[in-house]
Amino acid sequence: MKRLLICAAALLMLTGCFNLNNQADPTPQPSVSAELSDTPEPITPVNGGTLRVPMRPPKTLNPLLNEDASVDSVLKLLFEPLVTQDSSFTPVPNLASFNFASDGMSVTVTLREGLKWSDGLAITSDDIVFSLETLRNAPDTVVYKSSVRNISAAYTILDEKKVKLQFLQPYSGMAYEFCFPIIPKHYYENQTDPSGDINMTPVGNGLFVFDSYTSMKQMKLNFNPDTYRKSPYFASVEAVIVPDQQSELNAFEQRLIDVVSAELAQWGRYRNNTDTNIDEYSTMYFDFIGFNFNNEILAKPEVREAVASAVSIPDMITDIYLEHASRAYTPVNPDSWLFEPEVAQYGFDLSLAENLFKSAGYNNAAALRILVNSENDERVKIAGILSENLGKIGVGTTVESLQYDEYVNKLNGKDFDIFIGGFNLSAAPDLSFAFGSANGAENMFSYKDETMNALLASAFASAGGVAYQKAVSDLQKHIAKELPCVSLVFRKSAMLSDRRILGDKHPVMFNIYSDINQWFMNRDR
């Protein structure tokens, strides 16, 4: 399991109910500053208008059968999940409260009162069970398939609002497996609709309701008057069908859509564009320097510390990432509630690096090969800096900059000494895939350490928030001390929006539209 967990509220939810007010929308009220609006006085939010967003051509509008992340982003406007995640990667109860058993083997899920589907019928426990079964029977390629991997098929419906679920094994990140939407049993179980395919005419429970879909052109949504959350200011949303990411950016530049998500290389050219708002958010994309532990010299901890001391990460953040990244000390994002700041840290010190290489008996008999994938500009620059700095202290290197497929083949064949890489991690930090070697497992570093295996197992299975936090803290301290890799940065992404789109916009990695009910349009711009 590769999910990564998340703020102090999560500590409580593993042993008892979520602290949830079933009546109030936790989203703050809008506040638009004079700086944001470019006017001396705050702008009063106004109702109305249509927000235009991008979406790939959907194969289905059933969120539990959908395989496309772009389609899922828009379907979040139609379907609410049981649990959401906030900017600190904290799981936040949404449709229900969760009471996890102390042994980590079950949970009682209780729906909040007054929830309705967009056709007016009440949301019940049957809908939760039906949604779980839909995912269980869905192809492995659907977005939320992994959510049911640790949930037993033995469901116990306690009443119309409450269901008890059993787990196959204790998993400390189980709260995050409930970040999937639910669908109405009464509508989807029939699989027939006189007006057409029910999977293309959705009935949901979100801020907006489905109006119409025109193939390869657009989907129209209208405001949902029965939403339990604070009502949005926008009267409608138009999802414009675009084939790919570059087409999204082109459509945004032509003002055919109002919002788009962009990576570092894409949004840089908008930094000085007064017609564009830029709202950054943290991601789980982790960049690092990796080692091949089959190389005897790199298996020595002082050599790995020397490599860590041969790069200036703050300078990289400024010069390579243009300040659009956070320094990483371990593979846990510093914005996460699980981040442990009291770990071993390594500053830029070439003299120390030189002495550490000498003390390890390095004789420069063969140049160290630094592997990097050529299409990733940031990684290529890091490889160049590392090679140059090691050269300054008499350590010979060669840089192999290869196309991605060749790069992966070299990694899989262990045909490298050092490589510049990245992991797109999830919210619950199970790092066994990276550093684990229990039961003969092979990781990409060829790294083996029994203490690491024990810490990984503890972090995976700890029941209860306090125990889990300590387990992940201990794991981070060991990673920072052992240096199976040199942690560099967690990248940031950005939501770009038209300057007319105002309000308190706080996109998060898992849903850039999470606070869309706080946005509004300034039609005077």
Examine the domain organization and report whether 43 and 106 are in the same domain.
yes
CA atoms within 13 A of residue 134's CA, in its CB half-sphere: 26
The closest of 481, 372, 382, 478 to 429, measured between CA atoms, is 478
d(CA 151, CA 448): 31
524 pLDDT exceeds 90? Answer: no
CATH number, residue 330 = 3.10.105.10
Cα–Cα distances in angstroms (integers) from residue 146 to residues 140, 142, 460, in the given order: 8, 9, 16
Q: What pLDDT does 467 receive? A: 87
Average pLDDT for 393-397: 96
Find the DSSP H helices in 212-253.
Answer: 245-253
8 Å CB contact between 61 and 211: no
Examine the domain organization and report whether 407 and 515 are in the same domain.
no
Examine the domain organization and report whether 451 and 304 are in the same domain.
yes
Q: For residue 44, is it within any domain?
A: yes
d(CA 395, CA 242): 49
Q: With bands split at pLDDT 50, 70 and 90, how would you rate the model's confidence at 23?
A: very low
56 pLDDT exceeds 70? Answer: yes
DSSP string, 145-203: GGGGTTEEEEEEEEETTEEEEEESS--TTGGGGG-SB---HHHHSS---TTS-GGGS--
Examine the domain organization and report whether 254 and 369 are in the same domain.
no
395 pLDDT exceeds 90? Answer: yes
Q: What pLDDT does 272 receive? A: 80
10 pLDDT exceeds 50? Answer: no
Q: What pLDDT does 40 receive? A: 45
Q: With bands split at pLDDT 50, 70 and 90, how would you rate the model's confidence at 31?
A: very low
377 pLDDT exceeds 80? Answer: yes
Q: What is the pLDDT of residues 446-479, one digit of tens each?
A: 999 999 999 999 999 998 778 888 999 999 999 9
Q: For residue 267, is it within any domain?
A: no
CATH number, residue 182 = 3.40.190.10
Examine the domain organization and report whether 288 and 428 are in the same domain.
yes
State both tokens at 375: 């299409």
Q: What pLDDT does 30 receive? A: 37
Q: For residue 2, is it within any domain?
A: no
Its pTM stands at: 0.89
Q: For residue 3, is it within any domain?
A: no
Q: What is the pLDDT of residues 309-356, one digit of tens each?
A: 999 999 999 999 999 999 999 999 999 999 999 999 999 999 999 999
Q: What pLDDT does 41 receive? A: 64
8 Å CB contact between 489 and 423: no
Q: For residue 343, is it within any domain?
A: yes
Examine the domain organization and report whether 309 and 353 are in the same domain.
yes
24 pLDDT exceeds 90? Answer: no
Examine the domain organization and report whether 333 and 482 are in the same domain.
yes
43 pLDDT exceeds 90? Answer: no
Average pLDDT for 374-391: 97
Examine the domain organization and report whether 146 and 37 are in the same domain.
yes
Secondary element (H or E) of residue 282: strand 276-291
Which is more confident, 19 or 428? Answer: 428
Average pLDDT for 191-201: 73
18 pLDDT exceeds 90? Answer: no
Structural domain harbouring 390 = 283-492
Q: What pLDDT does 464 receive? A: 75
- In percent, the amount of the chain with pLDDT more than 90 equals 83
Q: What pLDDT does 523 receive? A: 73
Angle, vertex CA 80, rays to CA 207 and CA 250, nearest 5: 65
Q: What is the pLDDT of residues 107-136, one digit of tens each?
A: 999 999 999 999 999 999 999 999 999 999
8 Å CB contact between 184 and 121: yes
Q: For residue 113, is it within any domain?
A: yes
Query: Structurally, how many domains does the chain consist of?
Result: 2
Examine the domain organization and report whether 53 and 123 are in the same domain.
yes
Q: With bands split at pLDDT 50, 70 and 90, how would you rate the model's confidence at 271?
A: confident
Q: For residue 23, is it within any domain?
A: yes
Q: What pLDDT does 427 receive? A: 84
8 Å CB contact between 499 and 277: yes
Q: What pLDDT does 194 receive? A: 54
Q: What pLDDT does 32 receive? A: 36
Examine the domain organization and report whether 390 and 432 are in the same domain.
yes
Q: What pLDDT does 215 receive? A: 94
Examine the domain organization and report whether 392 and 371 are in the same domain.
yes
Q: What is the pLDDT of residues 67-94, one digit of tens each?
A: 999 999 999 999 999 999 999 998 999 9
Secondary element (H or E) of residue 134: helix 125-136
Q: For residue 277, is it within any domain?
A: no
Q: What pLDDT does 193 receive? A: 55
Across the chain, what does the average pLDDT equal? 90
Examine the domain organization and report whether 47 and 196 are in the same domain.
yes
41 φψ region: left (φ > 0), alpha (ψ -120 to 50), beta (else): beta
